[in-house]
Chain A
């Protein structure tokens, strides 16, 4: 059965980001007790895949690399309509930068989700926000990639026309499968989960796979396989006057304008 792979990243629920902290020894981000949620753009990626499934009868396979306690969030992908989830989870994978993340996900796709027509990612995650993982997965899979996609069109499921938003304009690419696509929020409106979906999700396969089973080169994964490090964190010091004005609108407006005049900007 033709297969489309969607990379879905569980992230710490943004509503609880005040509880994040860094491990002072390793500089690795700790998610201590924050419930997981799906990265918002990955739902757009999933929506592209689900529409292809509806048109061409393809299967939708979700792959992810995350701690094992994220399975609850990944069930949401199944409830939206994905057919199965493979979650790479292992202590050895912790602390990965984008290169190590992409290597691991590519290996997971090779082992469990091949052959595939398409790999679809979100263009950027809300937490790490590097936007680097998709192109690097494509490198490890040896396929072309297109990021910043705002429109995805195909007649036959083989030849695709993709629009890339490059801010000053748009580039229109034509590409035949297999390739990797990273989508922005403009591409579609992800469907909402309904009760039927939630019930169906309970019996769909969600497999957690460790590093050994993936036959990963352990020098290329996790913190060890990551060329980048977090050297430190700081709160930037910005020296400003910080003169705070309070009072009735008329008064403060007058006072502010006087100050701005003195400062030479009016």
Chain B
């Protein structure tokens, strides 16, 4: 029997446009494969040419398995899983990663069930244990700690990973594209995706911003929230929010930062009125400098900050805005 070998990534695409998360995962797969002395592979489904698929080798894929078919441009779980599962059974990779995006979260569990293997959700890190087993790090238990999930016996070891956790990187290794046959009938395209609508998104430059000013439930009201917007605008940054702040309607869902929202890594992060549980912290911990403003000196967030200001955000923020304006005008 063939040993299970190789780190694989499902390359997500939406209406033919490849999502970043697949490329990010390829770079992590590359790193893990190098550590183990094995190979990486990408699975690409959709209306793509061999040349399109070849581009994935520039992001770390040794092999690209391509299912080229116009009908696959639009996501359909059954059709996708009925191509991916037999391929995985044939090639026997040791691990398979997908993005912890809605499509990945819809597809991965179905594939895992078909393969009768384990799957871990919303990972914020992947690493190899001393025994060579993949350790999948998920935030757990009310956000106070991280759990290490493993899949000791079944293969492949499967995980969905949050977008933004890993950085995509270009690589100069040469890879090959393997064209796979698409054997599907109409019955495989159930349910039928009849329409795709792009959402009118307000431009949120959050992910790329050098400065992120983030507010939590401690901002207390919409009036105070405006202070964050003003501070962000003085600093040329973007505004983010915790879940309770989004729930209060002070900020749109798209700017939520953390485990179930965006992951940011700005030069400067300023968090005001935020308690700092792990669910939020995982989204900001790679920032260069973390500033925390909280009126409770015992707030958990102070433990992970560079500079902490103990005080009322309603008073601290206007003082900061004032002083900054002075500095920038002189």
A interface with B by C-beta (< 8 Å): 14, 17-18, 20, 22, 29, 97-99, 102, 129-136, 138-140, 144-148, 161-162, 164-175, 179, 226-236, 238, 240-246, 249-250, 252-254, 256-257, 259-260, 263, 265-266
Contact = CB atoms under 8 A, between A and B. Distances in A.
Contacts of A139: 109-110, 113-114
B316 A249 contact: yes
A241 B78 contact: no
A227 B191 contact: no
Contact of B320 (A99, A166, A229, A256): A256
Contact of A265 (B122, B288, B303): B288
Residue from the set A132, A145, A232, A243 with the largest chain B CB neighbour count within 10 Å? A132
Interface of B: 14-15, 19, 74-75, 77-78, 101-103, 105-110, 112-114, 116-122, 129, 135, 140-142, 144-154, 190-199, 201, 211, 267-268, 278, 281, 285, 288-291, 297, 302-312, 315-316, 318-320, 322-324, 327
Given A135-B106, A167-B101, A170-B199, A231 B311 contact: no
Contacts of B154: 227
A235 B145 contact: yes
Contacts, number: 232
27 contacts: A17-B142, A99-B112, A134-B109, A147-B102, A147-B106, A167-B102, A170-B199, A172-B196, A173-B192, A179-B191, A228-B151, A230-B148, A233-B141, A240-B304, A241-B305, A243-B307, A244-B297, A244-B308, A249-B312, A253-B320, A253-B322, A257-B320, A257-B324, A260-B291, A265-B288, A266-B268, A266-B327
- Main secondary structure on chain A at its contact with chain B? mixed
A34 to B, nearest CB: 11
B14 A168 contact: yes
A252 B310 CA distance: 9
A130 to B, nearest CB: 4
A227 B308 CA distance: 43
A147 B191 contact: no
